[in-house]
Structure 1
Amino acid sequence: MDITSWFDINNTLVNIPIGGGYAMSWIEMVGTLFGLLCIWYASKEKNINYLFGLINVTLFAIIFYQIQLYGLLILQLFFFCANIYGWYAWTRPDAMDGEALQVRWLSKDKLVKTSIISAVAIVLLTIFIDPFFSALAALSVAVMNAFGSSITLGALDPDAFPFWDAAMTVLSIVAQILMTRKYVENWILWVVINIISVGVYAAQGVYAMSIEYVILLFIALNGTKEWMQTAKANKSEYKQQEPAL
């Protein structure tokens, strides 16, 4: 079998008897597996999660290219860069004290700023989501055509759930950034994102994706619990190391 056929979404691994039936391809199955490994090892604060994350977003970028979801393809590029940065940030000594990043909570000031920026971004993206993703799709098609592709961008249907789609997009970006800096709040956001995703995919009849996000929800809940405990331990250790006045 030609190696390139393995990356074809029409190369079915298994037919899942959910809804009207769902043909899961090899690339989708492997990409999903690496995505689950990425989130699981991130919850355990293991650096290897970023290797799995890079494989996951690369495979899903190939999938989105084939099914012509160019906006999501561009989002995978962001996640690819974020995974590289996160791997670097988690393994290098911190510039302030020469030690590696530690799990901690956002300061009140940073939490307020992050919340305001996220809320404003969600509102704006909800209002302009169709032209925004149309522009992203056009940009990605232009870039790929510049490298020899011959893609014609068809008309895009209006977003079925503009607010929820905007919320998932913005919060996913914010959560990924917070994870690269080892802030506990990233897991709380992933819990929210996964709850929204389960509902949206179920409403759209994509039950396999809905089940996948149920699994991700439980991993995110476990990550929240473990990072909260780690942050508490790190804070106690820091207080013990503070010089007495």
Structure 2
Amino acid sequence: MGMFKDWTLFEKVWLGVFTLVNIYLFFAFKDSLLGFISSITGMLCVVLVAKGKISNYYFGIVQTSSYAYIAYTYGLYGESMLNTLFYFPIQFIGIYLWKKNLTKVQTIGEDVSVKRLDQKGWIYVIGTAVVGSIAYAYLLNAIGGQQVRLDSAAVVLSVIAQILMLKRFAEQWVLWIMVNGLTIVLWVIVLLQTGGNDWAMLVMWSAFLVNSIYGYVNWLKMHKQQHNIQGEAYELRHSN
């Protein structure tokens, strides 16, 4: 089955249900084709991130470029700039960095080695998030953006989470959980106010929220297994 050979039953069922929901929305509510493509590729991307697979970045290239245009048409300039200026180019950087840090141990099918964030790291993350969100909200307000506080918080947290993802920290998923929750609220407000029909965006972000919880659990498991295997290998080398 190629890409799906090491997928769990949960992952296969989850992706299948999500795809069927998007197909229904596409026909029932006349969703845009671009929204459908963005939603499907986005789901493939985040599931593959949760599995620690480098191939997530290839789907991310399609998702970020399509989502940037959709967000722009709804006046979500923060979301649009985030995807155009940050997420899209970062996909290529991610491919390069993850290829340099492949795991050398066989655990649960992942490609990349996993790290954990310490207390000092959390202090930097929280401080940067607070200051960055306030500053970016002023910028979005100045250019006439919609829902600038929610948009700003979601964007700044997304940037930090993406950096943690590039550096392979499991704690990226804590930030993704917050980002996905904020973005769901953002899209509900915008779609109701504008009467837009891109409901696939709301489904996509709801699926992202569930996946981020799964991703956090999976990455903690990956880190523990990698750490245990590396520890056993270290003891074996020094006992000979």
TM over 0.5: yes
In structure 2, the partner of 1:50 is 57
Distance 1:194-1:47 versus aligned 2 partners, 3 A rule: same
Which piece of structure 1 moves more, 208-217 or 100-109?
A: 100-109
Amino acid of the residue matched to residue 125 of structure 2?
T
Secondary structure in structure 1 of the residue aligned to 2:44:
helix
- Give the total of aligned pairs: 201
Aligned pair partner of 2:26 in 8, 14, 19: 14
Distance 1:61-1:200 versus aligned 2 partners, 3 A rule: closer
Tell whether 2:181 aligns with 1:169. no
Tell whether 2:171 aligns with 1:185. yes
CA contact (8 A) 2:49 2:56 kept: yes
* Structure 1 residue 211: Cα displacement: 2.8
Tell whether 2:78 aligns with 1:92. no
Tell whether 2:66 aligns with 1:83. no
Tell whether 2:184 aligns with 1:198. yes
In the aligned structure 1, how far is the partner of 2:212 from the partner of 2:32?
25
Aligned pair partner of 1:220 in 212, 221, 228: 212
* Structure 1 residue 167: Cα displacement: 1.1
* Structure 1 residue 170: Cα displacement: 0.3
Distance 1:122-1:67 versus aligned 2 partners, 3 A rule: closer
In the aligned structure 1, how far is the partner of 2:68 from the partner of 2:131?
28
In the aligned structure 1, how far is the partner of 2:128 from the partner of 2:140?
17
CA contact (8 A) 1:47 1:90 kept: yes
Alignment of 1:229-244 (within 5 A): 229-242=221-234
* Structure 1 residue 40: Cα displacement: 0.7
Aligned-CA RMSD value: 2.9
In the aligned structure 2, how far is the partner of 1:107 from the partner of 1:242?
23
Per-residue CA deviation, residues 53-86 of structure 1 (Å, 9 max, x unaligned), is 0111122234456666555433223101111111
Distance 1:74-1:166 versus aligned 2 partners, 3 A rule: closer
Distance 1:113-1:14 versus aligned 2 partners, 3 A rule: closer
Amino acid of the residue matched to residue 211 of structure 2?
I
CA contact (8 A) 1:89 1:101 kept: no
CA contact (8 A) 2:177 2:212 kept: yes
Tell whether 2:101 aligns with 1:115. no
Distance 1:83-1:210 versus aligned 2 partners, 3 A rule: same
Gapped regions of structure 1 (runs ≥ 5): 1-12, 18-22, 135-155
Amino acid of the residue matched to residue 14 of structure 1?
F
> Bigger radius of gyration, 1 or 2?
1
In structure 2, the partner of 1:35 is 42
CA contact (8 A) 2:45 2:59 kept: yes
Per-residue CA deviation, residues 7-66 of structure 1 (Å, 9 max, x unaligned), is xxxxxx93544xxxxx31112211211111000111111111000001111222344566
Distance 1:239-1:115 versus aligned 2 partners, 3 A rule: farther
